[in-house]
Structure 1
């Protein structure tokens, strides 16, 4: 089975995490394969997740202590660029990028497992629960679950491309 878990910010405004796990116990590999990715900004912070501390557009003319306001609202700090906070959608694209890269690795793993299960390699044998029989060759096992993982990868790539096409046309104001 494949599980994609996206955990939002924890109490205390900790970094959100993205976990992708592929359970391979039914394929008789003797264990579980787990891929994990954490989403965060390049400097390790999650400043772009703290959306609305800065006010609308590029800030406000009112004398507001942004750091104190951020603290009062439960954020770990105010964003550096208030325009970036309210008009940018990088946080969504970063999450979709992490999902796309994770699916790339799952797809490659599925491809390898399909090959290892093939007659040329015969390195592993997939369980009947994740395969189906062939209509022309009843002795053949089709690796349906792994083929679905490979096929769904394109959908995740498409979602990322669609999001980027939408965001490219958004005005800053």
Structure 2
């Protein structure tokens, strides 16, 4: 886990869905770190007209579009979290683009500390570009409560999404903190 630019410290923050990664990243940001949120960058890849948008629509169909031709992320999520193969396919489209954007933002940043907030940091291979890795852990009951409040998902949907991610105990084995 070593960044290519020795003038910048790249701190990776990961954890499970709803664990508080963004809150931890926000603490570092409040002290001057440049924060990169992989989820927000992924949402930017879904803008109509982009190559990623076109590939997703060609694979998942126009049924995932809203009237204004933007991707309905809830419809897309319902599809991919019901079929692991579709989730793998979606990730194979989005991850390379998000990784490209992250590397570009790191190169262009003037900050000496960059915090990368990414739920799939290890799974996507982004752990290879960070200098230190923090895994944010949370109890499952607290995690479920946070997700229900934030996303209004059913318990079944929450557990299914958590189940698709690398277990926290496995991520923790790779953590520096």
TM-score band, normalised by shorter chain? under 0.3
Larger Rg: 1
Higher relative contact order (CA 8 A, sep 6+): 2
More helix by proportion, 1 or 2? 2
